[in-house]
């Protein structure tokens, strides 16, 4: 029965989209968890809602609007963080709400009936089109390339940013680059889990991989595999139960993380005793 599902074009698309989403999450997730940029990524993701609204208002592809606004938000938040004047979590919080508010405003200004936006908020993996896939492929490729080309520098930056900057590595440039990559990843993920649920896909596979893998490359690869597996499982549940794919994936991931966490802490306790 499971195999016969693959005859459908939309199921094939959904599976491919899950893989792309897991790749960007595995790579970027490891970095943002290590650099403690999770809330910032959440801020960038939610701000992109303003871009979705902008797309609907002016009649262009909402995903392009989301990309545009989330890159702007990434650069803005990055700039404020670097200046260090205002506390960056205040700014992140503001961007977070402001972006969503803009989205609501733009949609309200649209003539005619408002479109259904739940697919952007909660993901709708089963409605991913060929065109969406091309988009996702390009962005995934960009993320993979930028990280692998400068891998040793990313490793040094992640372990000790201050030392890296002292030996002359352009850490400010790397930070902005990372923020833009986060914005690009958000766009890849919107169709799969939606804006609101993105944080779980960024953090849970990485956190599970972090409990198991002892090397940065391995940690990234493992979280890609874990992410893919849970996306497939979530996809199947969402098909069978007809619930939003994002919700199914996120609930599975959270339960899995809790189980692994409990298992590891039990083992740890036994080792001590």
Residues in contact with another protein by CB under 8 A are 34, 148-153, 155-156, 158-160, 162-170, 210, 213-216, 218-219
Contact, 251 vs 261, CB < 8 A? no
Nearer to another protein, 12 or 165 (CB): 165
Comparing CB distances to another protein, the nearer of 145 and 240 is 145
Q: Spell out the residues 6+ positions from residue 160 whose beta carbon is closer than 8 angstroms to its own.
A: none
Closer to another protein by Cβ: residue 17 or 224? 224
**Between 52 and 174, whose beta carbon lies closer to another protein?**
174
Contacts of 153 (CB under 8 A, 6+ apart): 164, 169, 174
Question: 130 or 217: whose CB is closer to another protein?
Answer: 217
Are 187 and 67 a contacting pair, CB within 8 Å?
A: yes
Nearer to another protein, 167 or 241 (CB): 167
What is the 3 state secondary structure string of 180-227? HHHHHHHHHHHHHHCCCCHHHHHHHHHHHHHHHCCCHHHHHHHHHHHH
Closest separation in Å from C-beta 116 to another protein = 43
DSSP 62: H
50 with 100: CB under 8 angstroms?
yes
Our CB check for another protein shows the closer of 60 and 159 to be: 159
CA 100 to chain centre: 17
Provide, rounded to whole angstroms, the least separation between the CB of residue 34 and another protein. 7
Q: How many secondary structure helices (H) and strands (E) does the chain include?
A: 13, 0
CB of 30 to another protein, least distance (A): 9
What is the Cβ-side half-sphere exposure of residue 58, based on CA atoms within 13 angstroms?
12
Nearest approach, Cβ of residue 210 and another protein (Å): 8
Q: How far is the CB of 38 from another protein (least distance, A)?
A: 15
Instruction: Compute the least distance from the CB of residue 163 to another protein, in Å.
Output: 6
Minimum CB separation from another protein for residue 67, in Å? 25
Q: Give the burial class of 162: count Cβ atoms within 10 A of its Cβ; 0-12 exposed, 13-18 middle, 19 or more buried.
A: exposed
């Amino acid at each position: 029965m499971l195999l016969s599902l693959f005859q459908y074009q939309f199921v094939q698309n959904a599976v491919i989209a899950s893989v792309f989403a897991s790749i960007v999450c595995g790579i970027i997730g490891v970095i943002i968890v290590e650099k403690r940029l999770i809330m910032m990524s959440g801020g960038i993701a939610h701000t992109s809602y303003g871009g979705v609204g902008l797309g609907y208002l002016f009649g262009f592809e909402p995903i392009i609007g989301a990309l545009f606004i989330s890159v702007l938000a990434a650069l803005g938040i990055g700039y404020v963080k670097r200046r260090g004047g205002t506390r960056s979590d205040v700014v992140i919080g503001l961007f977070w709400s402001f972006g969503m508010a803009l989205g609501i405003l733009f949609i309200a200004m649209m003539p005619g009936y408002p479109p259904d936006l739940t697919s952007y908020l909660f993901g709708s993996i089963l409605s991913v089109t060929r065109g969406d896939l091309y988009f996702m492929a390009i962005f995934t490729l960009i993320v993979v390339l930028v990280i692998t080309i400068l891998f040793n520098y990313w490793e040094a930056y992640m372990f000790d940013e201050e030392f890296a900057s002292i030996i002359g590595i352009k850490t400010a440039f790397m930070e902005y680059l990372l923020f833009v990559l986060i914005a690009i990843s958000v766009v890849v993920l919107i169709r799969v889990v939606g804006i609101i649920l993105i944080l779980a896909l960024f953090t849970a596979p990485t956190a599970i991989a972090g409990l198991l893998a002892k090397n940065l490359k391995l940690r990234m690869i493992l979280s890609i595999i874990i992410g893919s597996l849970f996306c497939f499982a979530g996809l199947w549940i969402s098909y069978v139960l007809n619930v939003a794919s994002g919700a199914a994936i996120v609930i599975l991931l959270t339960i899995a993380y809790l189980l692994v966490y409990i298992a590891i802490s039990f083992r740890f306790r036994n080792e001590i005793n």
